[in-house]
Structure formats: C-alpha cells, structure tokens
Chains A and B, each alone.
Chain A
Amino acid sequence: MPDKENARKWQVAFARQSQADYKAWQHLEAASDVAACEKLHMLQMACEKLTKAHLCSSGSDPDEIQSSHAYVAKNLPVIARHQFAIRTGKQPAKYDERLRNIKLLAQEIEYLHPNLDADGQRPDNCEYPWKDSAGVVHAPADHTFAGLNLLQQPAGRTLLKVIEFAAERLIEDGTLTTD
C-alpha cells in the first residue's frame, strides 16, 4: 500500500515539473527558428509528468512509475475526460468526438518518446535518428510530425487547455491536502 502523504508530494512535484515543461514548450512553440522535434520534446515531457502526477493522485506507488514512459496514451484521455466533467458539470455525448480526437493526439504524443515505437511500426521520435522500413535514415530535426500540428489538428487547442488546467488542479489538490 503506497504512503498517501508521499504520493501527494510526488503528485505536486510531477505536476510542477509538467507546468515548467509546458511553459518551455510555449516559448519554443512561438519561435520560428526552432525545429518541431524540439518543441514536441517539451510537450511530450510535460504530458508524461502530468500523467505521472495523475497516477500519484489516483493511488499509484510513485516508486513504480518513475522509469516507464508509457503512460501518456492511456492516461491523458482519462485526464481530459476528468477535466471535461469538472468544467462542464456533465459529459453529454456531444463531447465524445472531441475526446476521441484527444485520445488520438495522446497516442501520437506517446510515440514521440524514442523507447515507444509500437514494435517498430513507429520509429519516428523527437530525440534520436531512426531508420524507416525502406532503410532511409531520418533525423528528427528534419521531420514535420504532421500528426501533432496542434494549430491544425482537431482538438489540438483543447488538449493544450486540458494540460494547463490539469496541472494546476493536481497542484492545488495535492497542496490543499498536504498543508
């Protein structure tokens, strides 16, 4: 059974770091001379830490979630659903499509990590060069990551709001119960 007090401290710490990564992403995103891979690396880290903060708040043992990076695809949509429920007071079917789109984006964000490649099907990532099935070597710096153009992708802007709000909420909740 994880120590609840310890879990709250990790919840707040992961959420704080997620906020810092998100802020760094905002600065990089607004720049015209920064490669998409560098921008998205920050976003991937913000999302990974956000999902770890969420898991700490949900009873996971902080020691057991430190090393894995495979939490975003599964848990970011859960966080989004939670934010929709909090902020709309209900969850009618009209939000279903938006949440489906957020789920697709969450999967794409998870693939940004070089360790997560869907058994070789998605070697593209935002950190290290990879070789595709035709033997062509790609540098992340030259890749467009079209599936994560959040200015254009459906629900892209909503996902960004979810990330920002969820980190705030996890910090507030963790701080209130800790102090």
Chain B
Amino acid sequence: MPEPSKDEVAQSLAQAHYRFEPDVSMIVRIRGSADVEFQPNEPIKLLEINNTTIPSGIMPLQFGPDLGSGIPYPSVIVEVTPLEYEAIQAHSLPLPEGWSLGEEFPREDNGAAGAG
C-alpha cells in the first residue's frame, strides 16, 4: 500500500485534532519555503487556533513520525489563541522566517476522517 502523501496526512491530522480538541476553532497549514517544503523530512506544520489555550506567541512544538497513528511524517504544531491569530494575520506577531500561512482545513462534521 503506498504511503499517504504529506497533504493527505496533514488533512487527516487536522481532522483528528478537531475531533479530539473541541476548542480548536480553526486549523491552517503553515508552508515553508518552496525548496524545503517538498522534502519528505520537512515536517507537516499546522497552526491551530484554540479558544482555551494559554497565549504563548509562536511556540512551535515538534513531533516525530507516529506510524501507529498513521502519521509517517514529522509534524510541528503551533497552538495560538484567537487574538494571537489576529496578530499573525496583521503581521504584528510574525511567523518564523520562511514560514507563511497556507490553506485552511475546514472542520469535517462527519468525524470520519482523521489520523489514528
């Protein structure tokens, strides 16, 4: 069976986090520079807007691949509050150099998708 693509796993991981974390209101992909983003060891990077987390600025949390949960790629999660997300959009809270906001992963209501 072919390994799922990084995009597929990013979608799956985002839906799993929506499912396990009801207070996550939005998940947005973070893209690195074009020359690194397509390398297999470049982590999937998700920005998660969480209504009940503590404000922390940009604090990327790195995780290794988790094959048991169907995540064959490393990942980085940046968890922020809604106010911090507004600041990121206004560029007053900058992402690390080379990172930019990508597509949003809308919450899937059926809960069928998801890592793990």
A157 to B20, CA, bound (A): 12
Residues of B within 8 A of A (CB): 13, 16-17, 20-21, 23, 48, 50-56, 59, 61-66, 68-69, 71, 74-75, 77, 79, 115-116
Residues 93-115 (chain A) with a chain B CB within 8 angstroms: 94-95, 97-98
Cβ–Cβ contact A94 & B62, under 8 A: no
Q: Which residues of A contact B65 (CB under 8 A)?
A: 32
Cβ–Cβ contact A152 & B16, under 8 A: yes
Q: Which residues of A contact B20 (CB under 8 A)?
A: 152-154
Query: What's the A-B contact tally at a CB cutoff of 8 Å?
Result: 74
Given contacts A26-B62, A144-B68, A151-B63, contact A32 B56 (CB under 8 A): no
Interface size on A, residues (CB 8 A): 31
Name the residue in A26, A29, A161 with the highest tally of chain B Cβ atoms < 10 Å from its Cβ. A161
Q: How far is the CB of B45 from chain A (nearest CB, A)?
A: 13
A39 to B62, CA, bound (A): 12
A151-B71, A152-B115 given; name 19 further pairs at CB < 8 Å: A29-B63, A30-B74, A32-B65, A32-B74, A84-B54, A88-B55, A95-B52, A98-B53, A151-B69, A152-B17, A152-B69, A153-B20, A154-B21, A157-B79, A158-B50, A158-B52, A158-B79, A160-B61, A165-B56
